[in-house]
């Protein structure tokens, strides 16, 4: 089998560039663990006894997409829980931050154990899945001392050990590279934030060409966020011919999945209660009947309070009925008249 080396990393030619995705298959270890470096930064790395497995993430497209957005939602909510704690004593604040970090790492680890790492090594380094020698980044073939320092600084972002091996083969590479919990959380949070933007647009019935930011329409926003230049399509035969997506990282695959999801006309939605759900019919706005009833009751009670306030302010029954868009008989019933 033909191979070549990039700064000591032997790379088999049948594997694509980027994070070594294999024709629409993604490398995932059977088990990962959370490890801290000397500075206390948390990393998710393959466990020593873990086996390397290549899987097709598109076979679990719906659940994978939903779990990644849920991860971003959880990370965002956990960080928001610290906002009211900034004025607390240093010891108490540090304890809360440590607890939040622990919860985030637990959720990120659960995701990685199910689907693998996001593939951020080349995603951050090369830009859109370029080979490292093409990107001219920290794994480029230069050998001057400045480049070597740059390489080590970059490589330290993906493993807690300060002693990165000078030369190792592809199978050793897979067993070594990891990702910082903070990087995984930040990518998931950004994905969730952009998804909520899309959800508001979808629920509000806006025009795709309507401007969301200066000189940027909703359509352009979605295309810019979900742009994946290095992907492609191929054919695979497994008893029958099947389309096979080619991608450079799991993060890129997730963007493809969301584009496919949006194009179905019944994409993943965010309920008013905060839960993610997949609608059973096109105009379904809430995740379940129980949630729908709860929100309806909340709106009903809010309308009754609004009617009471107008009555106490001296408005007539007819004026209140007009403002509340209800019949006068209903207003009288609510007011006990």
Are residues 231 and 327 both part of a single domain?
no
Question: Do residues 212 and 330 both lie within one domain?
Answer: no
| Helix (H) or strand (E) segment spanning residue 290 | helix 289-312
User: Are 40 and 167 members of one domain?
Assistant: yes
pLDDT surpasses 50 at 129: no
Domain shared by 60 and 194, yes or no? yes
The residue among 164 and 217 whose pLDDT is bigger is 217
Q: For the chain, give the number of residues.
A: 337
Residue-wise pLDDT tens digits, 163-182: 655 444 445 666 678 999 99
Question: Residue 289 above 80 pLDDT?
Answer: no
Quick one: 230 and 295 in the same domain? no
* Res. 27: pLDDT tops 70: yes
Backbone angles phi, psi at 105, to 5 degrees: -65, -35
Give the span between the Cα atoms of 66 and 111, in whole angstroms: 11
Q: Which two tokens stand for residue 316?
A: 């007539």
Let me know whether 252 and 180 are in one domain.
yes
Residues 181 and 112 in one domain: yes
The single-letter DSSP state of residue 30 is: S
Burial label for 69, CB within 10 Å (0-12, 13-18, 19+), is buried
CA 12 – CA 21 distance, rounded (Å): 11
* Distance between CA atoms of residues 300 and 297, nearest Å: 5
Q: Domain containing 330: what range?
A: 289-335
**pLDDT value of residue 128:** 41
DSSP 116-139: ----HHHHHHTSTT--HHHHTSTT
The backbone torsions φ and ψ at residue 186, rounded to the nearest 5 degrees and listed phi first, read -65, -40
The C-alpha atoms of residue 151 and residue 196 are separated, in whole angstroms, by 36
What one-character DSSP code corresponds to residue 50?
P
pLDDT band at 237; cut points 50, 70, 90: confident
Same domain, 122 and 155: yes
Name which of 203, 44, 176, 189 is nearest 109 in CA terms.
Answer: 44
- Cβ burial of 239 (10 Å; 0-12, 13-18, 19+) is exposed
Query: Are 52 and 77 members of one domain?
Result: yes
Kindly state whether residues 70 and 174 are assigned to the same domain. yes
Mean pLDDT within 107-127: 84
Q: Of 268, 272, 275, 262, give the one whose Cα is nearest residue 221.
A: 262
Query: For residues 160 and 40, what is the distance between their CA atoms, to the nearest angstrom?
Result: 9
The count of domains in the chain is 2
| Per-residue pLDDT reduced to its tens digit, 56-73 | 999 898 889 999 999 999
Residue among 316, 317, 312 at smallest CA distance from 333: 317
Identify whether residues 197 and 317 lie together within a single domain: no
Q: What is the pLDDT of residues 241-281, one digit of tens each?
A: 878 888 888 998 999 888 888 887 667 777 766 677 676 66
Mean pLDDT of the chain: 75
> Cα 123 vs. chain centroid, distance in angstroms?
15
Indicate whether 32 and 152 sit together in one domain: yes
CB 39 within 8 A of CB 162: no
């Amino acid at each position: 089998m033909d191979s070549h080396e990039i700064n000591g990393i032997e790379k088999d030619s049948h594997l694509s560039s980027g994070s070594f995705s294999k024709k629409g298959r993604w490398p995932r270890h059977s088990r990962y663990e959370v490890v801290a470096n000397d500075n206390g930064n948390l990393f998710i790395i393959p466990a020593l006894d873990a086996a390397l497995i290549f899987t097709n993430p598109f076979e679990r497209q719906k659940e994978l997409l939903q779990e990644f957005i849920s991860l971003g939602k959880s990370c965002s909510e956990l960080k928001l829980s610290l906002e009211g704690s900034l004025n607390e004593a240093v010891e108490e604040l540090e304890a809360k931050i440590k607890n939040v970090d622990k919860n985030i790492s637990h959720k990120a680890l659960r995701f990685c154990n199910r689907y693998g790492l996001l593939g951020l090594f080349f995603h951050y380094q090369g830009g859109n899945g370029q080979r490292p020698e093409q990107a001219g980044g920290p794994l480029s073939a230069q050998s001057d001392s400045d480049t070597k320092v740059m390489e080590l600084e970059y490589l330290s972002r993906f493993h807690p050990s300060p002693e990165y091996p000078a030369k190792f083969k592809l199978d050793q590479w897979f067993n070594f590279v990891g990702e910082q919990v903070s990087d995984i959380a930040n990518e998931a949070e950004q994905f969730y934030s952009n998804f909520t933007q899309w959800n508001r647009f979808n629920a509000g019935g806006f025009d795709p060409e309507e401007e969301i930011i200066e000189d940027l329409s909703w359509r352009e926003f979605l295309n810019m966020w979900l742009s994946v230049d290095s992907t492609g399509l191929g054919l695979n035969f497994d008893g029958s011919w099947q389309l096979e997506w080619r991608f450079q990282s799991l993060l890129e695959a997730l963007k493809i999945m969301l584009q496919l999801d949006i194009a179905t006309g019944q994409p993943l939605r965010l309920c008013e209660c905060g839960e993610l759900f997949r609608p059973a019919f096109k105009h379904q706005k809430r995740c379940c009947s129980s949630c729908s009833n709860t929100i309806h009751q909340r709106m009903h009670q809010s309308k009754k309070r609004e009617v009471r306030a107008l009555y106490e302010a001296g408005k007539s029954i007819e004026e209140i009925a007009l403002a509340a868009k209800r019949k006068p008989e209903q207003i009288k019933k609510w007011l006990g008249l």
